[in-house]
Amino acid sequence: MVVMSIGETDPRPLTVEDLERMPDDGRRYELVEGRLDVSPAPTFLHNLIIDRLNFALTKQAPKGFIVVGGVGINFNADRTHHRIPDLTVIPRTARETPYLTRAPLLAVEIVSKSSVFRDHHTKRNEYAKFGVESYWIINPDAEEPGLLELRLEDGQYREESQTFGRQIFKTEHPFPVSLVPYWLLADSDDWVDHIDGSETTDDS
């Protein structure tokens, strides 16, 4: 891939300014210590989950919080470590442009076949080190989607809860949230009414 050769032929670490030269091809271009980390373009189901999750969180968010998808975060002052979570929650006072430089209250990643190790291990370590208080990993299994909630404690993540299918996921971080993983993917117009657990039986 031509893009990957940029880091190989240029001995200096890449920065977010170099990302502006990347092709607009739908792929996600991130930086890890000055090296490119390229992900395939999101699938339809991937974006569907992000849209529905954004809806659910925004609906339940108190004033003073912002829920935003696909925003870049600079992890260091050199701008050589740059990640783009699928979804983030920040306090309104942490709003920045063009990129965030402080840890969001919540980062969410939707797992794909190519991102299993990255989401469960690499980003888990990076987000913990950066100080992201809550990290959700969503498994978009068609029959029983799942949500793993990780909470930062003493600089490392501990598994707070894991919810599947029609079970109701509830948390107090970053604010009180109620969510049913099944409705993130369900092929039904009813998802709007039930995604927050309304009129849903808890199978846990």
The string of pLDDT tens digits covering residues 107-122 is 999 999 889 999 999 9
Asked if pLDDT for residue 66 goes beyond 90, the answer is yes
> Is the distance from CB of 70 to CB of 40 less than 8 angstroms?
no
SS3 call for 6 = helix
Asked if pLDDT for residue 168 goes beyond 90, the answer is yes
* % of the chain surpassing 90 pLDDT: 88
Number of structural domains in the chain: 1
Asked if pLDDT for residue 148 goes beyond 50, the answer is yes
* % of the chain surpassing 70 pLDDT: 92
pLDDT score, position 2? 29
Residue 4 in domain: no
Region 182-188: mean pLDDT is 96
CATH number at residue 104: 3.90.1570.10
CA distances from 83 to 145, 154, 196 (A): 24, 22, 28
Domain range for 94: 42-71+84-194
Residue 143 in domain: yes
Region 53-60: mean pLDDT is 98
pLDDT score, position 40? 93
> Any idea of the CA torsion for 64, 66, 67, 70, to the nearest 10 degrees?
-160
SS3 call for 57 = helix
Asked if pLDDT for residue 68 goes beyond 90, the answer is yes
Residue 155 in domain: yes
Selection from 123, 134, 137 nearest residue 32 by Cα: 123
pLDDT score, position 4? 41
